[in-house]
Chains A and B, each alone.
Chain A
């Protein structure tokens, strides 16, 4: 199981830039001055990309930790976290 966790870690790391790429691509494709829906306005996209970028970086870090085996054994007490 630990091997699977590590391999999947690589996938989470790769998934993060893919998500950001698709968000930026969708923003460029959908923002238009003539559109009336939220997806045609730049403000929601700016907010979403701003907040999703650190989340995607977090997913990448999560993948890195998984790849390094940090989740092979979870802490059982707060002593291990502090």
Chain B
């Protein structure tokens, strides 16, 4: 029943392209969140703030698993082809429309409401896409190459991130900041581009035929009548859904999110690496690591899926703290400043940002606060900025003045050598991702029977990635607010979840490759 080599190539290309575009669509919203919030969710409006929170949290956590159930059921009832064609149309359409919604200034509260609605549709569509694409490819693939062929689908999430980063950088570097962030500015282009990409992908997917295993099942009248009931109501299948979630996907989700997203946000917000260099680091690391999805998919066909996935998780558990600790240690601008002063070789340029004059009601307390920025450049190319506030009291009540004069280090630019060290470290973390994520589509496909496969594998996948993975930044913030002394404390969440998943997976999963999935 497996397709020929040439045929499977076409199948992989058409399935992967659509899935890649869906990831691209989902990511650009997150990557442009700051600009989007200015346009649609202005500060000071509590309703808009609530809608913004809902757009961020509900789309990822509630709607993705719900989409997995809705479209999974549909995929098992009417077929894989039309279901993941529908998810593509919904995703592409809603992404394009987000780019067409006028800002809050023009249409008021209708703007954030429309954006929220479209974002929820995006989450729903994403929930339905992956299971369909993975199932479709796996059901065409020969048993001995299922891991390798489905690994192409696994590259799409990372490549979608790569394309999103690339397009945003391309647009941003070709216009001024003001032109990019204007109401109808450049930030909308990535949303508009989506309609072209989706159009091409729909055209290609329309030419595809239904999965042969599903078609055979349908011909024999053996498709499921109620996939939700059969997936979660039957004890024998439900226990496998639970095993997939707690023994594999939960850990894979946090490894995936930490390596690709938390690393980027940590470098930008905690280490304070300059915006463009931070993206450059991620782009190189992703580009160089992506082929390893295929390698580990291929390897899983030879030695089994279980231990590759679990070792990827274990490596994350062991190495996350040392790697993130190295980021902090190596990009220490405070230390660089001492070093530069000692060597007397810095290029320093100071500018005054603004001067605030502060008076209290009875005019007794009157002082000015001078905010200044100093840009430092070292001989080896390292750069950083120090922003500080100096208080200049005009009356004798100096002791009452409470201004935070602590210097803030930012815009850190690494030397070329150091930049490559950081690229190597992020690359290592994405290698952990490729190990945990590369073989998982084949693993999930083999766990469930054809007639309820779409439903059964979609739900644990989206709970693992959307909920467990998506919660990494929230829990990291929670931990770092509670335990303020340790800047790496946020890592205990992914480490804990991955460790738990490793234990469950090691104990309960089998390493057997199921040769027969057409049952």
Contacts and interface: CB of A to CB of B under 8 A. Distances in A.
Interface of A: 1, 4-5, 8, 12, 26, 30, 37-39, 41, 43-44, 47-48, 50-52, 55, 58-59, 61-62, 65-66, 70-71, 74-82
Contacts of A1: 507
A42 to B, nearest CB: 9
B61 interface: yes
Contact of B245 (A4, A58, A74, A81): A58
Contact of A78 (B242, B450, B510): B450
Which size class do B's interface residues fall under?
Answer: 35 or more
Contacts of A77: 516, 519
Nearest to A4: B507
A47 B246 contact: no
Nearest to B50: A43
B477 A55 contact: no
Interface in B460-519: 463, 467, 471, 474, 477-478, 481, 503-504, 507-510, 512, 514, 516, 519
Interface in B421-463: 448-450, 463
Given A47-B57, A58-B242, A62-B246, A5 B507 contact: yes
A65 B242 contact: yes
A18 to B, nearest CB: 12
Contact of A37 (B237, B245, B481, B508): B481
Interface of B: 50, 53-54, 56-58, 61-62, 65, 234, 236-240, 242-243, 245-246, 448-450, 463, 467, 471, 474, 477-478, 481, 503-504, 507-510, 512, 514, 516, 519
A37 B477 contact: yes
B478 A80 contact: no
A38 B53 contact: yes
Q: Main secondary structure on chain B at its contact with chain A?
A: helix
A79 B467 contact: no
Contacts of A58: 242, 245-246
B474 A81 contact: no
Nearest to B503: A8
23 contacts: A8-B504, A30-B478, A37-B477, A38-B56, A43-B57, A44-B53, A47-B57, A47-B62, A48-B57, A48-B471, A51-B61, A52-B467, A58-B242, A58-B245, A62-B239, A62-B242, A65-B239, A74-B243, A75-B236, A79-B519, A81-B234, A81-B449, A82-B236
A61 B242 CA distance: 8
B450 A47 contact: no
B474 A44 contact: yes
A47 B61 contact: yes
A26 B478 contact: yes
A38 to B, nearest CB: 6
Contact of B467 (A39, A55, A61): A55
Contacts of A78: 448-450, 519
Nearest to A77: B519
B57 A71 contact: no
B510 A74 contact: yes
A65 B507 CA distance: 14
Given A37-B477, A39-B474, A51-B61, A66 B450 contact: no
Contacts of A8: 503-504, 507
B414 to A, nearest CB: 29
Contacts of B240: 74-75, 81
A50 to B, nearest CB: 8
A5 B56 CA distance: 38
A54 to B, nearest CB: 9
A57 to B, nearest CB: 10
Nearest to B463: A55
A39 B58 CA distance: 15
A57 B425 CA distance: 37
B474 A38 contact: yes
Top 3 A-B pairs, shortest CB-CB distance: A78-B449, A78-B519, A62-B242
Contacts of B61: 47-48, 51
A59 B246 contact: yes
B58 A38 contact: no
A51 B65 contact: yes
A8 B505 CA distance: 12
Contact of B53 (A12, A43, A62): A43
B477 A39 contact: yes
A41 B53 contact: yes
A64 to B, nearest CB: 10
A43 B54 contact: yes
Contacts of B510: 74
Nearest to A78: B449
Most A CB contacts (10 A, CB to CB) among B448, B449, B477, B508 go to B508
A5 B243 CA distance: 13
Given A51-B467, A82-B234, 7 more contacts: A5-B507, A38-B56, A52-B467, A58-B246, A59-B242, A71-B239, A78-B449
Nearest to A46: B57
Contact of A66 (B508, B516, B519): B508
B239 A70 contact: yes
A78 B447 CA distance: 9
A25 to B, nearest CB: 11
B444 to A, nearest CB: 14
Contacts of A51: 61-62, 65, 467
Contact of B448 (A12, A43, A61, A81): A81
